[in-house]
Chain A
Amino acid sequence: MMGPSCEEMARRSTSGEMDSAAFLTRIFMRMHMAMCNHCKKFLSQMKLISNTVQKRFGENPDPARVAALKKRLLD
């Protein structure tokens, strides 16, 4: 397969190198993704993990608790 290997795809996508990759590399990575079901699944699992963590921890804490904590900090 032309372009990055599956191992490179998985390594780059999990270490955060995807965004900083050169333009041509990104094109090859997209082409690879379109053809490789295993890499597609790998990235889909990464997205699932990311979505789950965002859902669990991304919400703002209870405003009453935050207000009580602010009061504690400033008293």
Chain B
Amino acid sequence: MATTARKSVLVVTRHAHQGSALGRSALDAALVSATFELPVTLLFQGQGVLQLLPEQDCTEAGIRNLRKVIESLPLYDITPIYVDAAAAARYALQAELLPPQAQLISLDRQRQLLADHDHILGF
């Protein structure tokens, strides 16, 4: 890999973990980027905030509960994670239900994140 400064990456995840595998793919891309020491930021928007619901039993649906993966993100230096406050409100996700490292942010702050990163991956 080039010796130039590491490019920063914003991973935007917009899909719930039920119905498609995109949420999982977004987390995989974030984790691998962090493993290769790229500075990674994760932003949950729209239905993507449903990945953050606590105590979900996904075994009957045959899918993975992503919340546990999300809670492990600080181990990879992906912290904090950012959550669109309006989407969280729409799905009645109160701040106390979110993972400890989650921060609810406004649309203006999200615009700032989009502008501040070298690359944006939109899932």
A and B associate: no
Q: Which residues of A approach B to under 8 Å, CB–CB? A: none
Q: Which residues of B approach A to under 8 Å, CB–CB? A: none
